[in-house]
Amino acid sequence: MINFQKFEREIEVRGHLIDSMILTRIFDKIMDLKGDFEVLEFTIGKEKKAPSYAKLLIKGKNKEHLEQLIEEVYREGAVSVSVEDVMLEKAPKDMVMPDNFYSTTNNPTFIHKGEWIKVENMMMDKSIVYDPEKKRAHCKAIREIRRGDLIVVGEKGVRISPPERPREGVDVFQFMSSSSSSERPTQHIARKVARDIYDTKLKDGKIVVVGGPAIVHTGASESLAKLIRMGYIDGLLAGNALAVHDIEYALMGTSLGMYVKDGTLAVRGHRNHMRAVNEVFKAGSIKDMVKNGVLKSGIMYECVKNNVPYVLAGSLRDDGPIPDCIIDVVEAQRKHKEILKGADMVLMLCTMLHSIAVGNMLPSNVKVVAVDISQPVVTKLLDRGTWQAIGIVSDVGAFLPMVLHHLEQISKTK
């Protein structure tokens, strides 16, 4: 018979423990790892905004088992009753972390160094660097690590604050859970997404779009262009293809050689996207195309005219790529982070790889709406860690115009 008594530790957790399923997840983690626990104290908040509190005694089979249990429950928001300072080790050389480095989640995180310090620039799968002079902590990618940086190691002195279910309000993020379905009422969801976009901008919030070329193929480019023109979009993250097909449509009315308006094939239309690439090279850049009057409409045109920053990240599939496309992946990642800084809401429109990449850069308190015609694409985004995302399985060519329509209706009533 296993004796759990020798290897135990008291932990506590605060928040909306029941309706946000925090306590349930902690129990599940312990039971999944064959540990044991005892509830020492449990107080339920009596008012809507009042947090609950629980104190548990976690029991393991041995020291290693207990540490494994503690690591899992800490990542659900629990902390040790007896608070200890975080453990730090110096990076042995540039771009190398200590072996037992703490790997971050995308949830708000704090480290204890005499006091609780909030970790800045939160992202998943990164390390935490502590600056003793400024008493600040930053989330850093491995390429940003420099020799001598003080890196957080182990789980001791680290506290995570997982996002909780909204307690009030009726925006889409309360209406829906973080999952995807093709059976939800699309018109109703579009109205709620529009309301949340409107309310975000009303509070001077920042909204970023991550877009794929299907926005153009499906006929939604004019809707996105108008959203940019109306001031709802503060940044665009995409690849070479979105820009090329947007420019093809603006210049020739086609996308991949097919007329977007009626779905008919253009004569020699297969070369139209390369004609678009050539036009960008002739001008020197997208901005020069707008400046010279060659490009007069479309998503990229509106970004330039309205000073909305954009990043086009290259890939092996790209034709050209056009001069504006960043082919250095590390530089593209850095530019992405610049645009995403301070974002309150991100709309991910029909692009799986870009959406997953951007999702990994976002803290969990950023609202994310992911729209794709393929349910596995939306599900994969959720499975890759962006669990706060709302998955909407719909044709973006139908969904985005609905969102625009509802935004226009909301604006008229104000």
- Tokens 């890196």 correspond to 151
State how beta strands 235-239 and 158-160 pair.
unpaired
Q: State the Cα torsion 318-320-321-324 to the nearest 10°.
A: -150
Question: What are the residue boundaries of the structural domains of the chain, listed by start?
Answer: 1-82, 83-163, 172-413
Phi, psi of 382 (to 5 degrees): -65, -40
Instruction: Identify the weakest region by mean pLDDT among 134-138, 153-157, 225-229, 230-234.
Output: 153-157
The Cα 45–Cα 409 span in angstroms is: 39
Say what the pLDDT of residue 386 is: 61
Give the pLDDT score at 180.
46
Dihedral pair phi/psi, residue 261, rounded to 5°: -65, -40
Q: Distance between the two ends of the chain, CA-based, in angstroms?
A: 69
**Average confidence (pLDDT) over 263-267:** 76
Kind plus residue range of the DSSP H or E element containing 349: strand 345-349
Q: Is 189 left (phi over 0), alpha (psi -120 to 50) or beta?
A: alpha
The pTM score is 0.78
**pLDDT of amino acid 133:** 93
Residue pair 112/86 in contact (Cβ under 8 Å)? The answer is yes
Give the whole-angstrom CA distance, residue 230 versus residue 224: 10
CATH architecture for the domain at 1-82: 2-Layer Sandwich (3.30)
Angle between helices 329-340 and 352-359 (to 10 degrees): 70
Distance (Å, rounded) from C-alpha 3 to C-alpha 88?
Answer: 33
Fold of 83-163: 2.40.420
Structural tokens at position 93: 């050389």
Amino acid, single-letter form, for residue 4:
F
Q: Which of 192, 203, 191 is nearest to 234 (CA)?
A: 203
Q: What is the per-residue burial (b if ≥16 Cβ within 10 Å, else e) of 259-281?
A: ebeeeeeeeebeebbebbbebbe
Q: Does domain 172-413 have CATH number 3.40.50.10690?
A: yes
Residue 147, both tokens? 């020799």
Spell out a b/e string for 43-75, using b for 16 or more CB atoms within 10 Å of the CB, else e.
Answer: eeeeeeeeebebbbebbbbeeebbbbbbebbbb
Please, which residues have CB within 8 angstroms of residue 161's CB and are 6 or more apart in sequence?
15, 77, 107, 108, 109, 110
Q: Taking a C-beta distance cutoff of 8 angstroms, is the pair 174, 126 a contact?
A: no
- CB of 12 within 8 A of CB of 53? yes
How far is Cα of residue 177 from the mean position of the Cα atoms in its chain? 16
Specify whether the CB–CB gap between 56 and 40 falls below 8 A. yes
Of 6-15, 260-269, 340-349, minimum mean pLDDT range: 260-269
| Range 222-230 average pLDDT | 96
Distance (Å, whole) CA 201 – CA 45: 32
Region 293-297: mean pLDDT is 96
DSSP letter for 271, please.
G
Tens digits of per-residue pLDDT, 127-154? 999 999 999 999 998 989 999 999 999 8
Instruction: For 248-344, list the strands marked E by DSSP.
Output: 254-255, 258-259, 310-313, 325-326
For the stretch 312-340, pLDDT in tens is 999 888 888 999 999 999 999 999 999 99
